[in-house]
Amino acid sequence: MILMLSVAHPADDMRVVRKEGAALAAAGWEVTHLCPGPGGALPPVAGVAIETVAGRGRLARLPALYRRAMALRPRAIHASEPDAWAVARLAGARLGCPVVLDVHEHYPSRLDARLPAALRPPARAVLRRVLGGLARGSDAVVLAKEGLAADYPAAPRAVEVRNHALAPEGIAPRRHGPGPLTLLHLGAIGVARGWPQMLDALALAPPDTRLLVIGRFTDGSEEGFRARAEALGLTPRITLAGWMPAEAALARAAAEADVNLILFQPGEENHRLALPHKLFDGMAMGLPVIAPGFAEPVATILEDTGCGLLVDVTRPEAIAEAVSALADPARRAAMGAAGREAAATRWGWPEEAARLVGLYHALLGGEA
C-alpha cells in the first residue's frame, strides 16, 4: 500500500487524491490518504481509501499521524507538506520503506509575509537548509511546478509532476451566449488572492455583471469582503457559495460562469510561480481566464494557448477592461475552446501521471 500522508490537505484534495492518488490506484497499487478529519475511515475518493486523524491544529495531529502511519505499515509514504515530510521520514526509517516528498509550492518564502524585509533572506536560507536536509534523506522529491528544484539539490531523485488539467467527467463545456456576464472565483479566497481588486473591478463593470465565489476565505477576511461589497452596493450581485465538493463545484461553475478570474497579487514568490488547479479547471470547462501577467507559469500557458487575457491585477481598471473585452460571446467561446483543447492535450494530466507512476515503479521494483 502507498500511503499519501497529509497534515493539512483535505480528504478529497485535488492534487493529493484526485490526481496523484487516483493515478497510482489506477496503475494497480492500493492507495490510502491519511489526513486530518473527524477520525476514522471516510468513503473512498477516486479509488483512494481515506483515513482521518482528529486533532486541533497541525502540531497536535503529528503524533497521531505518525502512530497511524506506523500501524498501516505501507510499502511507501508520499508526504505532502514539510511537517508531513518529517513524520514520513521518521516512519519510513522505522519501517524501512521509500519516502517521497511532494513539493507543492515555494516553501522557503512561506514566512516572508510575517517577517520584516531584512529578515526574509536569512529566514529563507534557514528553511532551505532544513528542507534540503529532509529531501537529502528521502528517496525522491516530486515537484508540482517549475522553479522549485533549485531548493533541493541533494535529493536522490527529482521528478516534475505538475498540476496540469484533469478534465472533469460528465461536465459539458460552457455554452457562451449573449447576455450579462457571471465572473467566477474558484477555490481559496483572501486579500492576497485579490478580492479587493475583484470587488473594485466588479463596481466598474456593467451593473448586470455578477460574481460567483466558490471556496473558503482562508485568511479571516470574509467580514471585510462583505463590508466592502456592501459599501460598493454590490451585495445583490454576488453569490458566496462557500466550499463545495469538487464535482459539485465544477458542475455549478460550468453551468453559471462565463469568465474565470485568477487575481493573485504580486509580492509573494508562490504567486509568481503559481500553477493553480483553478486555471486548469476553468480551461477544462471552456471558460476564458483573466490572470496576472507576472505569474510566470500562468502567463506561459495563456500565451501558448490563447485561452485568456493577462492583466495588471493590481489595477481594478485593467481587470474591468478585460471583462469588457470578453463581453463578446464569440470571443469567449473561441478562448474557451482553445483552453479546453489544451487541457485535454499538451497541458493535460495524463503525462504527469505517467511520470509519477514511473517513479513508483522504480522505487517499488516495478510491482503494483
Strands of the chain (E only): list them: 2-5, 31-36, 40-45, 48-53, 76-79, 99-103, 140-143, 158-160, 182-186, 210-214, 238-242, 259-261, 289-292, 308-311
42-70 b/e (C-beta count within 10 Å ≥ 16 → b) = bebbbbbbbbbbebeeeeebbebbbebbe
Q: Which residues of the chain have pLDDT under 50?
A: none
Instruction: Please give the model's pTM, rounded to 2 decimal places.
Output: 0.89
pLDDT, position 367: 64
pLDDT, position 170: 78
Report, in this order, helix, strand and coil percent for the chain, each rounded to 5: 45, 20, 35
Strand partners, 308: 289
304-328 b/e (C-beta count within 10 Å ≥ 16 → b) = ebebbbbbebbebebbbbbbeebbe
How far apart CA 258 and CA 166 sit, in angstroms, is: 20
Q: What are the chain's domains?
A: 2-164+349-363 (3.40.50.2000), 182-344 (3.40.50.2000)
pLDDT, position 113: 83
pLDDT, position 246: 84
pLDDT, position 291: 98
Reported as a single tens digit per residue, the pLDDT across 43-63 is 999 999 999 999 888 898 999
Task: Find the Cα–Cα–Cα–Cα dihedral 46, 51, 53, 59, rounded to 10°.
Answer: -60
233 Ramachandran zone, left/alpha/beta (phi>0; psi -120 to 50): left
DSSP state for residue 259 in the 8-state scheme: E
Q: What are phi and psi of 212, to 5 degrees?
A: -110, 120
DSSP code string of 184-196: EEES-B-TTTTHH
DSSP code string of 56-110: SSHHHHHHHHHHHHHHH--SEEEE-SHHHHHHHHHHHHHHT--EEEEE-S-GGGT
